[in-house]
Each structure stands twice: as C-alpha cells, then as structure tokens.
Amino acid sequence: MSDPPLLPYLLTAVEAIATVAFALSGLIEAARKRLDAVGVCIVSGLAAFGGGTLRDVLLDRRPFFWVEHAGWLWALLALCLFAMAVLRARHFAPTERAMQWPDALGLGLFSATGTQLALAQGMPAIVAVLMGVITAVFGGVLRDIVCNQIPSAFSDHRPYAVCAFAGGWVLVGAQALALPEGWGLLGAAAFASGLRALALQLDYRLPQWSADGKRGT
C-alpha cells in the first residue's frame, strides 16, 4: 500500500497555524480597543475565519473550513479567554506593532493555502492567486471594520495584499516546475510572510496619491 499523500495534511497544518496567527492579531486589536469577552471572541473569529469563509463561498466549497474542523472554534474560545486572563494579570499593553507580526505570519500561510485550494479546483492561475489574496487579507479587513477603523491593509501604505499576491505566484511557479508537493506551499508562505516582515522592518511604504492628485511617497 502506498503512503498517503502529504499535501492534505500539510494544508491542514498550515491552515491551523495561520488561523491561530490571525486569531492572535484579532485578539490584540480587540484588547487595544478594550472590548469585552464577547467582542474579543468575535473580532478574533473574524480575523481567523473571515478570509477563508469568503474564499469558500466564492469557490462554492462546502463545508466551510471552520465547520469541517469545528475543534478550531473551541480552540479559539479557549485562546481568547485564556489570553484575556493573562493580559489582565500581567498588565500587558497591546500595541499595533505587537499585532503586526502574527498578522504577517498569517498573511503568508493563508495566501499559500488559499491559492493551493483554488488550484486544486482547476481555477486559472490568476484566479487562484486572487483567492489566496482574499483568504489572507479579508479576515484582517473585517477585523478592522468591526473595530471601527479603516482597514490597515488599505491605509498603512506598507505592502500587504501585494505580499500575498507575490506569494501566490511563487506557488504557481513551483507547481509549473513540478516541484515536490509541499515545498511550493511552504515556499510561497515563507516568501509572502518574509516580504511583509521585511517591509515592516524597513518601514517601506508604497507610493500614495495625495488629495490634489500629485503622487506622494
């Protein structure tokens, strides 16, 4: 009997780590806004599951990934309640910068899994990459909207969706080169997260357009 394929297990593991990473980013943002326990759980859940749910809707994929792995819901609730107790006990001051690092990790992991799932359904490369971007970006967008602020993915001018887009093409290229399954997934995730982390470290910002129509920096 041949060994079971590695990719489904790797996809599940990567998606689980990405879910935890984005849940942490949502938790920190909820803490910054001083939300109650319900608010913390909702914001963390939107950050963790929002992008993947939208991807599954667009791909007509059932059950939704958080329904298929319902244990993650219990894990999310436990994480939120535990974190609230620890943060209060240690007087931890959540900051925007603290949120950025788990967010960067989740960005890369979710962009890779979203692209992979779309490619597995036979989607064209550009559609698959955009599904990866949606998976990676829209959880954070929903998180910020619920917290009553302009989504940071659209407003901080540091590469975010661009990093997810680039990571998706790394996966497409790896499959075109017939690299071993799993390597492309991990490489795409590392590339997107690395780009985002580098942009944060160097404080690199994309050009912006000023109100008078002149291009700014």
Q: What is the DSSP string of 85-139?
A: HHHHHHT----HHHHHHHHHHHHHHHHHHHHHHHHHTT--HHHHHHHHHHHHHHH
Query: Where do we find the tokens 């990459």?
Result: 129
Residue 127: predicted pLDDT: 95
Backbone angles phi, psi at 69, to 5 degrees: -120, 65
* pLDDT tens for each residue of 163-172: 999 999 999 9
According to the model, what pLDDT value does residue 75 have? 86
Q: How far apart, in whole angstroms, are the C-alpha atoms of residue 91 and residue 207? A: 38
In a domain, 100, yes or no: yes
What is the residue range of 189's domain?
7-216
Mean pLDDT of 66-89: 80
The single-letter DSSP state of residue 34 is T
2 falls within a domain: no
- 59 is a domain residue: yes
189 domain-assigned: yes
Burial label for 189, CB within 10 Å (0-12, 13-18, 19+), is buried
d(CA 198, CA 173): 22
Q: Please indicate, yes or no, if residue 1 is contained in any of the structural domains.
A: no
Q: What is the mean pLDDT of residues 74-85?
A: 84
Nearest one of 55, 63, 49, 54 to 20, comparing CA atoms = 49
The percent of residues in the chain predicted with pLDDT above 90, rounded, is: 23
Distance CA 184, CA 111 (A): 12
In a domain, 153, yes or no: yes
User: Both tokens of residue 70?
Assistant: 């319902």
How many independent structural domains does the chain possess? 1
Q: Is residue 199 part of a domain?
A: yes
Contact 44, 159 (CB under 8 A): no
Written as one letter, the residue type at 80 is C
Measured N-to-C along each axis, helices 183-202 and 161-176 cross at an angle, to the nearest 10 degrees, of 150
State mean pLDDT over 182-199.
Answer: 89
DSSP helix/strand/coil, 145:
helix
Please tell me whether the peptide bond between 151 and the residue prior to it is cis, using omega within 30 degrees of 0. no
Are the beta carbons of 131 and 59 closer than 8 angstroms?
A: yes
Nearest to 111 by CA among 39, 204, 213, 14: 14
Q: Which of 15-19, 110-114, 123-127, 206-210 has the lowest mean pLDDT?
A: 206-210
d(CA 119, CA 126): 10
**Joined tokens for residue 78:** 């436990």
Q: Is the pLDDT of residue 99 over 80?
A: no
Q: Is 191 contained in some domain?
A: yes
CA distance 88 to 80: 12
pLDDT reported for residue 164: 92
DSSP reduced 3-state for 42: helix
pLDDT value, residue 144:
87
